[in-house]
Amino acid sequence: MFKLAPSILAADFTRLGEQIALVEKAGADELHIDVMDGIFVPSISFGMPVIQSIRSASGMFFDVHLMITEPVRYLEEFVKAGADGITVHAEACSDLRSTVMKLKELGVRAGVSIKPNTPISVLEDVEALIDRVLVMTVEPGFGGQKLIPECIEKVKELAEHRREIGAGYDIQVDGGIGISNVRRVAEAGAEVFVAGTAVFCGDILQNVKAFKEEIRVAD
């Protein structure tokens, strides 16, 4: 089943609660929350206080994407703030397996993200444990970028590998996902689509509806 996860990084923060309510009303499946520390990636976004404040305003699944160095330091705090699922970057963890084990211990969905140039082989030690692999289709750190076409082949490679080993994780994509390319990425094997600008710029209700219709065709 395909899922749409709008990224609040592209939302209007003067109307954040209202816009979250709109994507929920429109039928979005998850809310994607990008946390950036200015070290692992150049940008700085937001942290636990923002997540905690919007948690009380929404019943959506909070998909928290930690683009921070050594995320294991803060996992408990993000869970307490309201995260339902947490994705960490393989490249940001000195001990990826222990970080994933901590997520499992905390009882949230455990995800691992890989950057465009990171091989899928880095997942080998945690594939049996994780619930999600997030394939970055742009270099992480900034919204509004164009999808890197070669990353579609990476999604296909990961989907084929998943079938071969019988793993149960879902495949998520993030970066430059829009109406014009979401079907192609779905056909490559992705199931969860993060979209920021393509959802929050313009008519949110219509944008979500168009996304849902497009991925329904590919389902």
pLDDT tens, position by position, 203-216: 999 999 999 998 87
Known catalytic membership, residue 174: yes
Each residue of 55-75: pLDDT tens digit?
998 999 999 999 999 999 999
Q: Which of 29, 34, 37, 170 is catalytic?
A: 34
Please tell me which residue in 29, 37, 63, 174 is annotated as part of the active site: 174
203 counts as catalytic: no
Instruction: Quote the pLDDT of residue 141.
Output: 79
Q: To the nearest 10°, the Cα dihedral for 197, 198, 200, 206?
A: 170
For residue 175, give the 3-state DSSP assignment: coil
How far apart are the C-alpha atoms of 150 and 132, rounded to whole Å? 21
- Please give the Cα distance from 185 to 211 (Å, whole number): 13
Please give the chain's pLDDT, 219 residues, in tens.
Answer: 899 999 999 999 999 999 999 999 999 999 999 999 999 999 999 999 999 999 998 999 999 999 999 999 999 999 999 999 999 999 999 999 999 999 999 999 999 999 999 999 999 999 999 999 999 999 987 777 899 999 999 999 999 999 999 999 999 999 999 999 999 999 999 999 999 999 999 999 999 999 999 887 766
Q: Quick one: which of 214, 140, 206, 129 has its CA closest to 174?
A: 140
Those residues whose C-beta lies under 8 Å from the C-beta of residue 29, and which sit 6 or more positions away, are 3, 4, 5, 61, 192
